[in-house]
Amino acid sequence: MQINILTIFLLLITLQMLSCAKEANLPTGKIPEVQVPVDGIRIGWDFRSLTRIAPLDGRTGYFGYARMTQLFDGRLACVYETSTGNIELVFSADGGKTWGNKQVLFETTNNIPPFVPEIVELSDHSILVACNPRPREPFTNDRKFGIKVRKSIDGGITWEKEQLIYQAQSTFENGCWEPSMVQLPGGEVQLFFANEGVYTTSGEQNISMLRSVDFGTSWTTDPVIVGFRKDRRDGMPVPLLLKDKGELLVAVEDNKTDQFKPTIYREKLMDNWADGTILATDPRREYAPLTDPLADNVYAGAPYLKRLQSGEVILSYQTNLQRDNIWDKSSMAVEIGNETGRNFSRRSIPFKVPLSKHGLWNSLSVIDGNTPVAITSTNAYSSTSTEVWMIRGRVIPEFQIPIGTSIPDGLLNDDCWQGEWPYFIGQTSNKQLFSNVCKDAQNLYIAVKIDGLASTVMNKTVDEFSLLLDTERKSYQAPHTGVFAFRVEYDGSVTVEQGQNGQWIPDQSGTKIKVGQSLNGDLHAVELAIPLGLFPEKFGLNKTVGINFVLQSTEAECITSTAENQPFTWVRAFLP
């Protein structure tokens, strides 16, 4: 990964803006308010997994609008558009660490370049790729905007001839856009696209759909209009099948009020669009389903949907939130919904894009069952090009703390530590923290592995990490009674702080904590045995606690979608 010095400087500025600051905005002198706790999993984006997908052959220019899927044989397939007027496809056989040579699937013909590809693997393991041919100016009546598809039945080795399955008009104002596909349980393939070709006297746009009942060999000719808001422009549809719910979701961008917001159509599989177009007030339309709403003047377009194996639906969009309200300087945001695709929250930013750069036309993939992958088109890592980059996420669960005992010697060989390590920090630099927890009748045991150089300030090694506990999960807005911070120094010493009226107050009980550590190169292992007697009698009264970690890196970094001094944001854990 080659990043120039200027880009690194800009990235550091961005990270400082997003850091988990220890002294930030602490109210003083009164009991903090109790907030609604932020429940649910988090996604920690792994900086070390940041990988360029395209170009890999020394070319410069624009490479973007990438879409990725994992095939039945484990390979990843990624399609993207290029400034040379081609749609290209690459494969990875190692989970995205390396990528093979490109294939060109669609080329510019008759001065009509292809754009915005989509890829899907069908139940018979054939692969369909769709794209959107868009004529260049000067427009002529014989060259129209359209939708094309191409199919492979041998895993992408060879490809059938491309098919033109729909045409709109021949001018930009009356074109069609952004195809996306899904296969229903019965085998029918539905291809959704934004369509303004039928509104030649207005700027309106609908979401249209074509069907194939023979695995993409043939298609219906008359599109079904599945969504439309009068005088507005529903656009950029992305379908997601919720088979266990008997429902199909379609994410669109919806400019109901001022700037675009993500909106979700909901259609019962048994109805299969027989119940008519989803209009503005249709209950099947859920406008901006975000728990933390965005202001009307904040742009949040180009949505994308995927589902984790654990059931949660994840939504991405590109937004100029905190980016000077300049839409083409937008970057990617991801939110996590419930298993029905509602109540999206726990916003995270997978790619750290400087304000002078962009991260556009993003998408999501889920690989190996429960590993989210974010894909962006960005110039954040290049001074000459927009490139396709990916980053893997780690799902941070609401952990069920097991019963177990550990000898705090730093060797991490107790039975406690042989299973899942649920907690992860490592989005802003190569330095990473992994942690695990167990408990017996006397102690709460914490194991931490830190991989990366120790952080120094003024030639002094600073505290390596902090463990934060809301022992009763009161979910205060700021530190207060029952909320603890355990600050662990690089030399293994521990200081304890308790919350009081929004402040951290030093506590003298650190000497009661047993600590063991080991160093092996850049790997620092620490084990803590924290006596339960340190905590209030109500520790885990409701069988839950709030937990967070802070890792000292370029800046202090917390678990994703949490804040160090806001206990209500900390991750819920269940006690045995």
Q: Residue 279 belongs to a domain with what CATH number?
A: 2.120.10.10
DSSP one-letter string for 391-438: EEEEEE---BPPB-----SS---SGGGGS---EEE-SSSS-EEEEEEE
Do 439 and 392 belong together in one domain? no
- Per-residue model confidence as pLDDT tens digits over 131-140: 999 999 999 9
Rounded to a whole number, what is the distance in angstroms from the first to the last CA of the chain?
44
> pLDDT category, 21, cuts 50, 70, 90?
very low
Q: Omega of the bond prior to 422 within 30 degrees of 0, cis?
A: no
Do 524 and 446 belong together in one domain? yes
Do 306 and 424 belong together in one domain? no
Do 543 and 411 belong together in one domain? yes
Do 405 and 307 belong together in one domain? no
Look at residue 507 and tell me whether its pLDDT is greater than 80.
yes
Pairwise CA distance, residues 497 & 484, whole Å:
6
DSSP one-letter string for 309-358: TTS-EEEEEEE-TTTTT-GGG-EEEEEE--TTS-SBEEEE-SS---TTS-
- Per-residue model confidence as pLDDT tens digits over 113-172: 999 999 999 999 999 999 999 999 999 999 999 999 999 999 999 999 999 999 999 999
- Average pLDDT (59-64) is 98
Residue 463 is predicted with a pLDDT of 58
CB count within 10 Å of CB 516 equals: 18
Do 30 and 59 belong together in one domain? no
CB count within 10 Å of CB 321 equals: 17
Do 376 and 482 belong together in one domain? no
Look at residue 576 and tell me whether its pLDDT is greater than 60.
yes
Do 444 and 516 belong together in one domain? yes
* Burial (CB count <10 Å: 0-12, 13-18, 19+), residue 296: exposed
Assigned domain for 425 exists: yes
342 backbone dihedrals φ, ψ, rounded to 5°? -130, 170
Look at residue 350 and tell me whether its pLDDT is greater than 50.
yes
Look at residue 367 and tell me whether its pLDDT is greater than 90.
yes
| Mean pLDDT of all residues belonging to the chain | 93
Do 346 and 465 belong together in one domain? no
Assigned domain for 15 exists: no
Do 29 and 62 belong together in one domain? no
Do 391 and 430 belong together in one domain? no
Taken in order 97, 102, 108, 109, the sign of the CA dihedral is: negative
DSSP one-letter string for 128-174: EEEEEE-PPSSP-TTS--EEEEEEESSTTSS-PPPEEEEE--SSGGG
**Please, which residues have CB within 8 angstroms of residue 263's CB and are 6 or more apart in sequence?**
234, 251, 252, 253, 254, 256, 285, 286, 287, 288, 289, 303
What percent of the chain has pLDDT above 70? Answer: 93
Assigned domain for 130 exists: yes
Contact 25, 565 (CB under 8 A): yes
Assigned domain for 569 exists: yes
Assigned domain for 18 exists: no
Is beta strand 285-287 parallel, antiparallel or unpaired with respect to 261-268?
antiparallel
> pLDDT category, 5, cuts 50, 70, 90?
very low
Look at residue 13 and tell me whether its pLDDT is greater than 50.
no
- Per-residue model confidence as pLDDT tens digits over 247-284: 999 999 999 999 999 999 999 999 999 999 999 999 99
Measured CA distances, 357 to 67, 327, 468 (Å): 21, 11, 35
- Write down which residue in 347, 375, 396 finishes a domain: 396
Residue 10 is predicted with a pLDDT of 38
Assigned domain for 9 exists: no
Q: The domain containing residue 332 runs over which residues?
A: 42-396
What percent of the chain has pLDDT above 90? Answer: 88
Domain count, the chain: 2
